[in-house]
Amino acid sequence: MKCEHCTRKECSKKTKTDDQENASVDVPSPAQENGEKCDTSEHKVLAVSLCPQSLPYFAAKFSLSVTDASRRLCGFLKSLGVHYVFDTTIAADFSILESQKEFVRRFRQHNEEEPALPMLTSACPGWVRYAERVLGHPVTPHLCTAKSPQQIMGSLVKDYFARRQNLSPDKIFHVIVAPCYDKKLEALQEDVLTASRGSRGTDCVLTSGEVAQMMEQSDVSVREAALDTLFGDVKEEELRRHDGAGSDGYLAHIFRHAAKELFNEDVGEVTYRALRNKDFQEVTLEKSGEVLLRFAAAYGFRNIQNVVLKLKKGKFPYHFVEVLACAGGCLNGRGQAQTADGRTDKALLQKMKGIYADIPVQLPEASTHVQELYQEWLDGTDSPRVQEALHTAYQGPGQPADSRDIKW
């Protein structure tokens, strides 16, 4: 038995079994019977945040709809003692919106003497770590300064949600469930510390595959449960995603926004054209034979190396590149959909793509919760708090690395 917000099995708070709930019979914990008291200073609120690219894996693996998979996963986590289970889509909303604004600003400020373009996405920790630790200048100045969804979710949970619950950030233990191992590295970054609070935004990262293995090996009775929201809403919200085939779709969202903001052009469906291979694709906005915007998506390190080589030579024609370390995008993260010998389970991945494609798309601008949070949490869309909570700076190769980072 354990009390609410306590991660220990022994606790001095009186508890009840399900059968005794109606009989109102108090059941003392083992610690009480031994005359011991639980140290309430050690109590933690356990919060888990799920990446949207993880849910199709659980749906495909257990032959469920994505909604049923989320409810089963949420119920399983809560059966282990987790108090809140969130969806990180809202954090990606913030990251995309801030990336959109930054691209428009860079485009308008760009000149030959001080090139602000191309802008390279910063949502993938594997890519960002490579850029910081290996490449440095001239690549890091081109990284978008918007924080990744994981970093922003850490701030939302440890800052905004903590305040709503009247909790100190260090009383919350925040776990991310993600499709790749590089998210573990990201959690170690000092920059993940919540704004002005001194508490790490993400305390632990589990891959989707690690959680699935826990579910398969567990004999705990699971009762399905709905995902929680940061706002305490009772109504279960419909799962949604962003406009990307296997990722959060930074390219599509920023392309549409830039076309409208810079050239007053409305773009409906974004048309991709594969170039070198299926993981290097191009999108252009043309008018009267002139290319106004040229965007690219570069997935996998083979394509990343080609991007970096051309960038260093000054022969790079693109205004923006969505960069992801995993070939095929986030759905193909190495933390899920793997066979026993460490290869991609292609059949399972194909199912996941279909499931992900069927999740409704919602523009970040359409989220009323995001607009409310800009005002309530960040004091407006252009306040100093926005820069502090939603943007970051990058280290160069000469900067000392975290010792755990090196060992990992």
Q: What's the pLDDT at 399?
A: 54
The span from the CA of 195 to the CA of 144, in Å, is 19
The span from the CA of 296 to the CA of 273, in Å, is 9
Q: What's the pLDDT at 1?
A: 36
Q: What's the pLDDT at 395?
A: 76
- pLDDT tens track of the chain, all 408 residues? 344 445 444 343 333 333 333 333 333 444 444 445 545 556 789 999 999 999 999 999 999 999 999 999 999 999 999 999 999 999 999 999 999 999 999 999 987 777 789 999 999 999 999 999 899 888 999 999 999 999 999 999 999 999 999 999 999 999 999 999 999 988 887 544 444 456 789 999 999 999 999 999 988 788 899 999 998 765 667 899 988 877 889 999 999 999 999 999 999 889 999 988 899 999 999 999 999 999 999 999 999 999 999 998 888 899 999 999 999 889 999 999 999 888 899 999 999 999 999 999 999 999 999 999 999 999 999 999 999 999 998 876 655 545 444 443
Place of tokens 């693109």: 318
| SS3 per residue for the chain | CCCCCCCCCCCCCCECCCCCCCCCCCECCHHHHCCCCCCHHHCCEEEEEECCCCHHHHHHHCCCCHHHHHHHHHHHHHHCCCCEEEECHHHHHHHHHHHHHHHHHHHHHCCCCCCCCCEECCCCHHHHHHHHHHHCCCCHHHECCECCHHHHHHHHHHHHHHHHCCCCHHHEEEEEEECCCHHHHHHHCHHHECCCCCCECCCEEEEHHHHHHHHHHCCCCCCCCCCCCCCCCCCCCCCCECCCCCCCCHHHHHHHHHHHHHHCCCCCCCCCEECCCCCEEEEEEEECCEEEEEEEEEECHHHHHHHHHHHHHCCCCCCEEEEECCCCCHHHCCCCCECCCCCECHHHHHHHHHHHHHCCECCHHHCHHHHHHHHHCCCCCCCHHHHHHHECCCCCCCCCCCHHHHHC
Place of tokens 């969130």: 86
Q: Indicate the angle between helix axes 250-263 and 89-109, nearest 10 degrees.
A: 40
The span from the CA of 32 to the CA of 286, in Å, is 73
The tokens of 298 are what? 């570069």
pTM of the entire predicted model: 0.86
Q: What's the pLDDT at 279?
A: 92
Q: What's the pLDDT at 41?
A: 56
Q: Residue 65 contacts by C-beta under 8 Å, 6 or more apart in sequence?
A: 59
The span from the CA of 155 to the CA of 345, in Å, is 34
Exposed e or buried b for every residue in 58-70, given b needs 16+ CB within 10 A? bbbbeebebbebb
